[in-house]
Amino acid sequence: MEAEQQTIHIYLVKRCQKGDRQAQNELYKLYVGAMYNICRRMMGEEEEAKDVLQDAFITAFSSISTLKKEVTFGAWLKRIVINHCLNALKKKKLLISELNEGFDMMEPEEEEVCEYCALESRKILQAIDHISEGCRTVMNLYLFEGYDHKEIAHILGITESASKAQYSKAKSKVRKILSLNT
C-alpha cells in the first residue's frame, strides 16, 4: 500500500512539473493538513499559519521542477514550510531573545516526552501558543520536528547552548501554564 501511495505521489509530482493544475490541487489536498499543523505550531496564530502555509505551497509549486528524484515530495515540502515559518518569525523581529551563555542547564530526561503524552494535545498546543515566539520556535523544532540542538542552532543562527536554554525555558513555561489550568 505504501509503495502504491509513493508511486501516486511521484506521478502527481511529474504532472505538476508539467504545469498540471489539477495535479497541484491533488498534492495540496494530500499534504495541506500535515503542513498546516507545522505552521500552526510554529506561528502560534491561526491566520499567520494560514498565510505562511499558502506562501509555502506557492513556493513549492513554482519551484517543483528543482525537486530531485531521490527526495520525497513530503520531506521537500516540509523543509519549505519550516523555512517559511522561520522567515516569517524573523520578519516579526521577535524570534530569539539574547540569552546568558552561562545559563545553567539540566540534561533532558528520557521520560520528558512521556510527560507530554499524558496530557491532552490540545491543552499543550494552547499552552505553547502562550509562550514567546523564540521559545515556541525552538520547542517546535526540537520536540515536534525532531531536530537536535546543534541543528536548531545552525538553522536559527544561535549557539547550541542558547537553543538548549530556550527549550528548557519553553518546557518550564508550558508546565507552569498547564499547572495553572488544572
What does the pLDDT look like over 40-90, one tens digit per residue? 988 888 899 999 999 999 999 999 988 887 678 888 999 999 999 888 887
Digit-coded pLDDT (tens) for 59-73: 999 999 888 876 788
Q: How confident is the model at residue 179 (pLDDT cuts 50, 70, 90)?
A: confident
Task: Give the pLDDT of residue 7.
Answer: 81
Q: Distance (Å, rounded) from C-alpha 95 to C-alpha 85? A: 11
Domains 2-91 and 112-180 share a fold: no
Domain spans, the chain: 2-91, 112-180
% pLDDT > 90, the chain: 34
Pick among 3.40.50.300, 3.30.420.40, 1.10.1740.10, 1.10.3720.10: CATH of 2-91: 1.10.1740.10
User: What pLDDT, on the 0 to 100 scale, is given for residue 182?
Assistant: 60
Are the beta carbons of 55 and 26 closer than 8 angstroms? no
**More reliable by pLDDT, 120 or 2:** 2
Q: So what's the pLDDT on residue 156? A: 87
CATH, domain range 112-180: 1.10.10.10
Check residue 164 and give its pLDDT.
93
Q: What is the pLDDT of residue 1?
A: 56
Q: pLDDT value at position 100?
A: 37
Long-range contacts of 93-97 (CB under 8 A, 24+ apart): 94/132, 94/133, 94/134, 95/133, 95/134, 95/137, 95/156, 96/134, 96/137, 96/138, 96/156, 96/158, 96/162, 96/166, 97/132, 97/134
